Amino acid sequence: MQKLTNKEEEIMHILWKLKKAFVKEVQAEITEDQPHYNTLSTIVRNLEEKGYVSHNAFGNTHQYYPIVSIEEYRKGFMSTAIDNYFNSSYKSMVSFFAKEEKISAAELREILAMIETTKEEK
């Protein structure tokens, strides 16, 4: 999966939310730094070239829809982040969030319970 720019990722979140949309509908969802229609159209076509979206043609206009799910993207994004920033160590990632006080002991216990339940089911 090719890496997305921040703007491409923003557009993908809109397409995941809308399920399918014309460029003008995507543009209406952008609240800050709204790009010009032609710029946005180019971004969406780039997403199509990268294999993230496809389209249905209606005459000269196209309705775009995601072909990569948010779950697929999340999995790839997180794997890359963990590899790049935590030396492929999930333990390092979790301890980072614990040190930054972004995750509580209670939440860690919930995660541990989920892991143990998953192991028991296998």
Q: What is the CATH number of the domain that holds 19?
A: 1.10.10.10
Residues 48 and 94 in one domain: no
Print the domain residue range for 109: 89-121
Q: So what's the pLDDT on residue 1?
A: 77
Q: So what's the pLDDT on residue 119?
A: 78
- Classify residue 62: in a domain, yes or no: yes
Residues 24 and 57 in one domain: yes
What pTM was computed for the model?
0.81
- Classify residue 74: in a domain, yes or no: no
How many structural domains is the chain composed of?
Answer: 2
Q: So what's the pLDDT on residue 14?
A: 98
Q: So what's the pLDDT on residue 32?
A: 87
Q: What is the 3-state secondary structure (H, E, C) of the chain?
A: CCCCCHHHHHHHHHHHHHCCEEHHHHHHHCCCCCCCHHHHHHHHHHHHHCCCEEEEEECCEEEEEECCCHHHHHHHHHHHHHHHHCCCCHHHHHHHHHHCCCCCHHHHHHHHHHHHHHHHHC
Q: What is the pLDDT along the chain (122 residues), one digit of tens a residue?
A: 788 999 999 999 999 999 999 999 999 999 888 999 999 999 999 999 999 999 999 999 999 999 999 999 999 999 999 999 999 999 999 899 889 989 888 999 999 899 888 877 77
Q: So what's the pLDDT on residue 120?
A: 79
